[in-house]
Structure formats: structure tokens, C-alpha cells
Amino acid sequence: MKKLYIQLVGLGLFALSSTMNAQLLTPEVLYYDFNGSGTTVPNLASAPPIGTATATLMGGLTQGGNAICSGTVIGTGVSSTTDYVNTGWATNLSSTSSWSISFRTENITPSSTLFYIFGDAGANGFRCFTNGVAGPNNWILRGTGMTDVTIAGGATVAPHMCTYVYDAALAQIRGYLDGVLVTTVAQGAFSFVSAGPFKVIGYGSNVGAPSGGHLDEYRLYSRALTQPEITQLYNPYVPSGFLGADQNACSASPLVLSLPYPAGSVLWSTGSTTTSTTVSSSQLVTVAVSGACGSGNDTVNIVLNAPTYDTISAASCGSYTAPSGAVYTASGTYNDTLTNVAGCDSVITINVNITQPSSSSISPMSCGNYTSPSGNTYTTSGTYNDTILNTQGCDSVITINLTVNQPTTASISANACDMYTAPSGMMYMTSGTYNDTITNMMGCDSVITINLTITNSTSATVTASACGMYILPDGDTAMTTGTYTSTIPNMAGCDSVITSNVTINSSSASTMTATACGSFMAPSGAQYTNSGTYLDTIANAAGCDSIITINLTINAIPTVTLSISNNSVCIDDASFTLTGGSPAGGTYSGPGVTGNTFSPMSAGNGTHVITYQFVDSTGCNATATANVTVSACVGVNENNNFSEMNVYPNPNSGAFVIDLGANYEDVSVVITDLAGRTVHAQNANNANLIPVEFDSAAGMYIVTVVSGSNKASFQLIRQ
């Protein structure tokens, strides 16, 4: 436990100064330090996208060594079709959100071959390369829709850190070389999005890096880094103070100090040349860091303190609470650990003597009050804890189950019929308030106040009539007329004697014979549609059932139809005989009907309903109806010289045809209203069929057709 405590204190040396900076400089998307071995690289980003927890070194790429920041990925000079770092990331960079990319390289040689440090050919050609149009020793960031951003001098044999920062708020990409701003390029809208993978040391099928070329500390942020952040990223060991404040620790175990950032060459004052050192005694510890990943010096004063020891003896009843708060319930020797003023363990050996309290229980009874063994006085029953000292000087807790008896009082309300007997045996005949005294269960007086109500019995007489039988008030049945006496409880619960004068009435019966057509309604309202014998029940004059036996004959209603062939006639047509009624032998009725003759003139213009009624041999009858339409005469009138003339349709909606029956020369057609005004005129030559269209209000018009000596007029109805 002591060793763990001291190591935690040691780790605290860096918690205040370096952890916050380290967290601020940790990328959100991709971060590879290439300090491991094998073909997998952990993504150290704070919020790696799904599927990017580890990257894979493809082909002949390797990692490790002690270059740049204690480990790099080493180029092969082979096509990135096979040799590249597969990040597993689906590229997603655009001009709508800020982002930053930072990386360190060395051993990048001028060449006719283009070296691509990262990119995604499927994301609108987003890539970063040197040589070619970029020129030797320069990195250029390029993509469709984006203006090239060149960091001159960043791609050399010597180590450099290059940082590209896209600032969405300012719509620009800034380029930094070794923490210093070297270029700013305005940018319009662009989008680099694909299914990936985004390659590091690779792009499409191009060469990623020359053989022996190094890439380290590859970082991709989802925000725009600031100038102070980029400066610190380039050299996290400036200013000093990265080891934290001076600290005191306990010397039970060695203290381990570690650098919070990647480092190149390291030298501790303890002689260690790794990123950590062990401190076993109080001393001033210094460290010097130098290399491509940052340089600086820092000092921290470490004071290691020793624990203290002590012994005490303690006596207690039941339990003992040690200085640390630990509780002991049995005698013995215990080690209790506190923190001394130096922050180290203070171990106390405690010789504890535990004596136990005692307990007992008594159940006294008393009248009025009770004095306990400790001298307390109780006046009511209950359970009490009374404490005195036992023979060992500890508490003796006595549980007292005490019963204190007292006189009691009660109040009751009682109801009785004619007389009431109280609990003491006293008898009361009238209503009132009485005090009755008896002995309670504890042998004390119990005074009962009785609020008494005396109720007397009642009587009544009723007169009733019923059909067949009558249920008396007490539930008995009276079957004959007479006087009966019943006894039941009244509303107060006392006897109520009821004299019932009962009249018993009888039901009646009768028979009837009935004949009906189609259906029959019985006296009760029931409907019957078939012949047969039925029982129907109604109330007789006494209010009892009157049962009627009905001998019923139901005759069928005949099926009657009416069809009138000449159902559309002119008002001046001759009368005609109505013959469409079936079965024969029925009678016709309706406007213009006399017997079986229909007169259009008598009926007048309009549509008329003609009714045909037939009565069969049983006296059942039925009716059928049909319509006859009477209209004004609209045919060619008597002065027609065109023997074969026909007009259709008539009535019409303004369009009709005049059929002359033969060809005629120089035909004139004139349409006038009933006031004699011409509303339409047209001519035709060598015509047989003359189509006519005229636009006028609905009504009756006169059409006159003339051809030489031939002339005809007829009425036309426009609907």
C-alpha cells in the first residue's frame, strides 16, 4: 500500500502542468506516433471515427527505430498500391468545418519521382506530395476545388514539422513550417469525401515515400489549431515547467518521473537516458531534452519523507473507535494507520481492552405510576429503557415492559325497543343519558355514559289487490281475498304489525277469428304474417291478464303490374284505351282517366301518375303505377306542303335537323318566338337534310320552312 501511495504522489508531479497541454494537443480524428512494432498502429486520437481504432502497415512498410520522436514509419520507395498505411478512415473533409493536419518527416530526397505523404484518390484527388510541380524540398496540398497550398522547405533530408490549418471562419488554409506561419491561401468551397481508405505514406498507386524516408507524429484534428498550439506542438519542452511543481513524497518505495511528450535525446541528472527515471532519495532532479521532436530543460525538487510509529493502550465498553475511524469490538492489539504532517504513514499500535455492557428485561405492573431502578418515574404504560452501571462499570440496560393501570371512561349510544338493559344490569324504559359503572379488565372502575334511545313498536293497515296471489309484507302469500296480519321490523328495528285487506282478482280468456291480407296486428300489437292459431295477452278490466286465442287466416296480396306503351303523347292527341294492367279485371284511376280511357286533353300538359288497382277473390288488393307525359303538339302543322318532312330531335338544346324527305332548291328556314320576333334564319340550296343550330333562351319557338310554293310551320321546344 505504501508503494502505490508514493507512486501516485509521483505521478501527481505532472498532473497540473503537462496533462492539460497534452490533452489540448491530442487530435480528435487520427494520431499515429509509430513507436510500436509489427504491422498495426494504434490510433491515439481522442475521438477516433468508427473503424479507425488501429491502422495497418501494408506491403513492406515498417515502424519503430529511434528517429525523429522515438519511432517512425519507414518508407520503401514502392508504389502505394501495395505499400501504404491503411487508416481505415472514410475521408470526410470539406470547407464547411475547420480541420488541421500536422506531420514530421526526414530523409525526403529530391527526385524525379513524386512522393505522396498522404491522400485519397477517391476524395476528389485530395493529396499532399513533393517533387514534380511541387518542386524538390517542398510539400504541396492539392485537391479538386481547392487552391494549392505549398510549404517550401518542408520536404528535406533534415527533419521538419509541417502543419496545414483550414480555418472555415476565415475561408483560408494556413501552412506552418516548424511552428512558423509561412503561407496563407484563400479557399472557396471544396469537398473531400469518399468511402476511403485514407492513406498515409501513399496516394492511389503512387509512391508514398523514398526508401528510408521517415514519417512521424501524424495528426489530423477536427478543428483549426492556433498559433500557440502549433508552437507548442513543434516544441512541447518550451517553456520549462513540464516536470511540474516540487513535491514531497514518502520514501517507502521509489518514485518514477516520466516525460509527458514524445522525446528525441534525453538525459536525466540521475543518469537515465530514457523518457523516465527512478528517484529513491531526496534530491534536485533535472532533465535535458533535445531532438527533432523538441528541446528544453526542467528541474524539480523531490523530498522523500519517512513514516512514523507509536503505541497506545485504550479501554472501552462495547467498542472502541481508533484515531483513523476504525471500530473494534473485541479486546486485542491493532495497528491503526494515519497520515503524519509529512504526508506519510503514521502507524499506531493500539492495545485495546473491551468490556461489554449487559442487558435485562422486566415486566412490572403498577397503579397510577411506577419508579424505575434508575429513579425515573413513569405514569403511563409502555416500554422503557432504563440504564444503570453493571459490576464491570459498563451500562446495564434494563428494558421495562410497564403496565400502569388507570380508571377508564367510555361513551356509547344505544337504541332499544321498549326497554334497554345496561352493562351493569340496570334496566331503562325511556330515552335519556345514563352513567353506568362496571369493573374494567385491570380491576379499575370503567364509567360508561349511555346515550339511550327507546323506540316503541308500531302498527299499520293496508288495502291491496292482486292477480292470482299477493305477497304479504312478511313474505307470506295470500291466494284468496281476505284480511291478513304480518309482523316485520319497522325503521327503528322494532316490531311493526301490518293488517292487509287483500282482494285477489282472476285472469280472463277469450277466442277470436280473424282474416287479413298479407299481415295481421293482434290486440297486443304483435304482427303475424302466416295463418295459424296464436295466443295474445292484454290486460283485462281488473288489470289481470286477458288471454286471447286468435284463429287467423292470412290471404296473399296479389301481384299487380302496369305498363302503358304510349306513355308520351301530345295534348291534342285522341284519347286511348289503357290496357297494360295485370291481372285483368282491375280499375284505372288518375288525371284524364275515365274508366279505362285516358284523355290527354283532360289530363293537361305534364307527367301524370296512372294507378291500376286489382282486388282478388279473397278481397285482398294491390296497386301499380305508370307515368304518362302530355306535351304541346310539336309536329309539323296542317299547312305542311312537304309531305315527307320530319324534324329531330324535338325538344332539343338548340341543335336539330330538318329532314325534307327529298331535295329542294332555295330553301329558307326562319325561327321566331311566340311574340313573332325572328331569332334565327338560314338558307340552303339543293338540300334534303338541313342541320340547324340557334342560341336562344329555353322555350317554345315557331320554325317556318319555305321552298318555292312549298311551305310548312311547326312548333319547336328548346330545353
pLDDT above 70 for 17: no
Once rounded to an integer, what is the mean pLDDT over residues 365-394? 86
Paired sense of beta strands 395-405 and 358-362, if any: parallel
Stretch 208-232: mean pLDDT: 96
Please write the tens of the pLDDT for every residue from 66-93.
788 888 999 999 999 999 999 999 999 9
More confidently predicted of 706 and 603: 706
- What amino acid is encoded at 372 in this protein? S
The string of pLDDT tens digits covering residues 224-249 is 999 999 999 999 888 778 888 887 77
The CB density around residue 616, as the number of other CB atoms within 10 Å, is 17
In the chain, where the domains are located: 2-13+237-305, 26-234, 308-355, 358-405, 408-455, 458-505, 508-555, 561-631, 646-718
- Range picked from 112-116, 408-412, 509-513 for highest mean pLDDT: 112-116
pLDDT band of residue 22 (cuts 50, 70, 90) is very low
Q: Is residue 157's pLDDT more than 90?
A: yes
Using CA atoms, how far apart are residues 99 and 169, in angstroms rounded to an integer?
A: 11
Contact at 8 Å (CB) between 532 and 515?
A: no
Cell numbers given for 16: 497540473
**Non-local CB neighbours of 638 within 8 Å, separated by 6+ positions:** none
CB neighbourhood size of 29 (10 A): 24
To which residue does cell 476524395 refer?
Answer: 123
Output 658 or 403, whichever has higher pLDDT.
Answer: 658
CATH number (3.65.10.10, 1.10.10.10, 2.60.40.10, 3.20.20.70) of 2-13+237-305 reads: 2.60.40.10
Cβ contact 534:528 at 8 Å: yes
What whole-number distance in Å separates Cα of residue 58 and Cα of residue 40?
Answer: 9
Give the Cα separation of 567 and 606 in Å (integer). Answer: 11
∠ CA 657-658-663, rounded to 5°: 125
Q: In 3-state terms, what secondary structure has residue 11?
A: helix
Where is average pLDDT lowest: 5-14, 129-138, 532-541, 656-665? 5-14
Q: How far apart are CA 47 and CA 29, in angstroms?
A: 6
pLDDT for 252 equals: 60
Q: Which fold has domain 646-718?
A: Immunoglobulin-like (2.60.40)
The string of pLDDT tens digits covering residues 131-140 is 999 999 999 9
pLDDT of residue 522: 87
CA 411-416-422 angle, 5° bins: 50
pLDDT at 152: 97
- In angstroms, rounded to a whole number, what is the distance separating the alpha carbons of residues 89 and 41? 13
| pTM (predicted TM-score) | 0.45
Query: Tell me: the pLDDT tens digits for 330-341?
Result: 889 988 888 887
Looking from the CA of 512 toward its CB, the CA atoms found within 13 Å total 14
Q: What CA–CA distance (Å, rounded) separates 257 from 303? A: 13
List pLDDT tens digits, range 95-114: 999 999 999 999 999 999 99
pLDDT class for 354, splitting at 50, 70, 90? confident
Give pLDDT tens digits for 304-314.
887 888 899 98
Contact between residue 257 and residue 274 where contact means Cβ atoms under 8 Å apart: no
CB 454 within 8 A of CB 428: yes
Residue 633, CA distances (Å) to 138, 353, 645, 697 in order:
111, 141, 16, 20
| Per-residue H/E/C for 140-193 | EEEECCEEEEEECCCCCCCCEEEEEEEECCCCEEEEEECCEEEEEEECCCCEEE
Which residue bears the cell 286489382?
614
Q: What pLDDT band is residue 580 in, cutting at 50, 70 and 90?
A: confident
For 560, other C-beta atoms within 10 Å of its C-beta total 20
Banded model confidence at residue 15, pLDDT cuts 50, 70, 90: very low
Top-tier CATH class for 26-234? mainly beta
> What are 510's strand-pairing partners?
548
Helix (H) or strand (E) holding 432: strand 432-439
Picking from 32-41, 137-146, 539-548, which range would have the lowest pLDDT averaged per residue?
539-548
Place of cell 318555292: 708
Q: Distance (Å, rounded) from C-alpha 427 to C-alpha 22?
A: 101
Provide the pLDDT confidence category of residue 491 given band limits of 50, 70 and 90: confident
Question: Could you tell me the pLDDT band of residue 256, with boundaries at 50, 70 and 90?
Answer: confident
For residue 637, pLDDT beyond 80: no
Percentage of residues in the chain having pLDDT higher than 70: 94
Tell me the pLDDT band of 262, cut-offs 50, 70 and 90.
Answer: confident
Does residue 478 contact residue 469 with C-beta atoms inside 8 Å? Answer: yes
DSSP state of 49: P
Pick 579 or 176 by higher pLDDT. Answer: 176
Which of the pair, 130 or 554, is modelled with greater confidence? 130
Contact 277, 270 (CB under 8 A): yes
- Residue 222 reports pLDDT greater than 50: yes
Equal CATH topology for 26-234 and 646-718: no
Beta strand 327-328 with 445-455 is: unpaired
The rounded mean pLDDT for the chain is 87
Instruction: Quick: pLDDT tens for 409-419.
Output: 889 998 888 88
CA–CA distance, 42 with 55 (Å, rounded to integer): 6
Confidence band of 446 (pLDDT split at 50, 70, 90): confident
Count CA atoms closer than 13 A to 522's CA, side-chain side.
Answer: 24
Average pLDDT for 274-291: 86
DSSP 133: G
Instruction: Quote the CA–CA distance of 138 and 716 in Å, as a whole number.
Output: 103
Lowest mean pLDDT of 201-215, 479-493, 684-698, name the range.
479-493
Overall CATH class of domain 561-631: mainly beta
CA distance 337 to 251: 16
Each residue's pLDDT tens digit, 43-65: 999 999 999 999 999 999 999 88
- What is residue 253's predicted lDDT score, i.e. its pLDDT? 67
Q: Letter for the amino acid at 360?
A: S
pLDDT score for 251: 66
Tell me whether the omega of the peptide bond preceding residue 159 falls within 30 degrees of 0, making it cis: no
Cα dihedral sign for 601, 604, 610, 611?
negative
Average pLDDT over residues 461-465: 89
Distance (Å, rounded) from C-alpha 690 to C-alpha 707?
Answer: 13
User: Is pLDDT of 406 > 60?
Assistant: yes
Whole-number percent of the chain with pLDDT over 90? 45
Q: Which of 298, 294, 332 is nearest to 315 (CA)?
A: 332
